[in-house]
Amino acid sequence: MESSRQWQQHSGLVLDRVNEFDVIECLSCGYKHVVPIPTQEELEQVYREDYYSHEKPLYLDEHLEDLDWWNLVYDERYDYLESQLPGESRSLLDIGSGPGYFLLRGKARGWNTLGVEPSTRAAAHSRDLGLDVREGFVDEALVKSLGTFDVVYLHEVLEHIPNPASLLSIVTQLLKPGGILCVIVPNDYNPLQKALRTTMNFEPWWLAPPHHINYFDHESLLTLLKNQGFDILSRSSTFPIELFLLMGMNYVGDSSMGRMVHRQRKNMELNLTKIGCAEWKQRTYQAFAQQGIGREVVAYARLASFE
Ligand SMILES: [Zn+2]
């Protein structure tokens, strides 16, 4: 069987067991992931039809409610990309573009945008926004029809797929010379999560197989990117949401508390911008990254072969 054959290539210390999956510190991959690894066919079914309906039924509504804040997050990313690219280099491919709002923001800023999204519902939503979005998965078959781009954006994609290295290899074909890859993944088994687990009896709440197959942190993501031929241009973190657990606001398994702490974090970031402290915030979040904390890793990279 495909899954058992794949499993043979992966071995390492078993860290956790959840929903019939083991999480291993894989020696050959260099990052943590579940075994057995779900097959591409199993995942395609999940993401085409089920993901936004069953797993994330409120995602589209909540994204809209949070849109002011998302646009702040997006603008920070576009500002950085624009600072690193010549003025005419404004083409972007968003792989796993979801409801399309990152693309929409880019389009409003003058970027030429294209999305690829497996969820029928999310792709249809994006087209309703007037965006160019292909429905499907990026693979070797699709790649030739897409062209090349100044930026490839992978927001919360690499943790979901069976073979991140092979997607990154495809990305190298999609980037123009000097183009930039922006990757965002959850920062899992991070120091705050591990400390909360050890000292305050939290179960490993960040584990979510089969949707999350891979569990990266700053170091293992950067190593993966370097192994695929990328140089790291810059990296940062998103807000260390675990700080709310230390404040006594236990959002684990409590979605209304989860929304509440998210709202507070959102307000803080919007207000920091409003009071003129956006740069201070960025430097602080880069310092979080240096400490290995922050809920997500945000990394910008360029192919090392580019001169
Ligand atoms: Zn592995």
Model confidence over 232-241: pLDDT tens digits?
Answer: 999 999 999 9
Predicted confidence at residue 2, as pLDDT, reads 39
Q: What is the mean pLDDT of residues 66-81?
A: 97
- Give the mean model confidence (pLDDT) for residues 164-171: 96
What is the domain-level CATH number for residue 33? 3.40.50.150
pLDDT for 180 beyond 80: yes
Q: Give the model's confidence band at 5: pLDDT under 50 very low, under 70 low, under 90 confident, else very high.
A: very low
Contact yes or no for 182/94 (Cβ under 8 A)? no
- Given a cut of 50, is residue 1 above it in pLDDT? no
Q: Quote the CA–CA distance of 272 and 281 in Å, as a whole number.
A: 7
Report the pLDDT value the prediction gives residue 54, as an integer from 0 to 100. 61
Concatenated DSSP letters for the chain?
Answer: -HHHHHHHT--EEEEEEETTEEEEEETTTSSEEEESPPPHHHHHHIIIIIIIIII-TTHHHHHHHTHHHHHHHHHHHHHHHHHHS-TT--EEEEET-TTSHHHHHHHHTT-EEEEEE--HHHHHHHHHTT--EEES---HHHHHHH--EEEEEEES-TTTSS-HHHHHHHHHHHEEEEEEEEEEEE--S-HHHHHHHHHH----TT--TTT--EE--HHHHHHHHHHTTEEEEEEEE---TTHHHHTT---TT-HHHHHHHHHHHHHHHHHHHHTT-HHHHHHHHHHHHHTT-SSEEEEEEEETT--
The answer to whether residues 169 and 228 touch, using CB atoms and an 8 Å cutoff, is yes
Q: Residue 52 in contact with residue 97, Cβ under 8 Å? A: no
One-letter amino acid for residue 157 of the chain: V
Cα of 17 vs centre of ligand 1, distance in Å, is 16
Q: Which residues pair with 17 in a beta bridge?
A: 22
- Confidence check: pLDDT of 192 > 50: yes
Mean predicted confidence (pLDDT) in 244-268:
96
Residue 53: pLDDT above 80? no
Greater pLDDT, 291 or 41? 291
pLDDT in the model for residue 224: 98
Q: Among 70, 227, 235, 93, which residue's Cα sits nearest to residue 171?
A: 93
Domain that holds residue 264: 2-303
Is the distance from CB of 98 to CB of 79 less than 8 angstroms?
no
pLDDT for 3: 41
- Going from the Cα of 116 to the center of ligand 1, the distance in angstroms, rounded, reads 26
Instruction: Say what the pLDDT of residue 4 is.
Output: 40
How far, in Å, are 159, 280, 293 from residue 155 at the CA level?
A: 10, 24, 18
Interval between CA 275 and ligand 1 midpoint (Å) = 45
Q: From the CA of 221, how far away is ligand 1's center (Å)?
A: 13
Q: Mutual orientation of helices 164-174 and 218-227 as an angle, nearest 10°?
A: 50
Res 210: pLDDT: 87
Q: Domains in the chain: how many in total?
A: 1
Report pLDDT for 43: 83
pTM score, two decimals?
A: 0.94
Q: How far is the CA of 1 from the centre of ligand 1 (A)?
A: 17
State the average pLDDT for the chain: 93
**183 Cα–ligand 1 center, Å:** 20
pLDDT the model gives residue 45: 77
* Pair type for strands 91-95 and 296-303: unpaired
* Between residues 169 and 44, the one the model is more confident about: 169
200 CA distance to ligand 1 middle (Å): 30
Share of the chain above pLDDT 90, in %: 82
The answer to whether the beta carbons of residues 171 and 200 sit under 8 Å apart is no
Are the CB atoms for 242 and 188 separated by under 8 Å? no
C-alpha 163 to ligand 1 mean position (Å): 9
Q: Is residue 51's pLDDT more than 70?
A: no
Residue range 94-138, pLDDT digits in tens:
999 999 999 999 999 999 999 999 999 899 999 999 999 999 999
Residue 306: which residues within 8 A CB-CB, separation 6 or more? 177, 178, 179
* Choice among 57-61, 161-165, 265-269 with the minimum mean pLDDT: 57-61
For the chain, what is the radius of gyration of the CA atoms?
A: 19
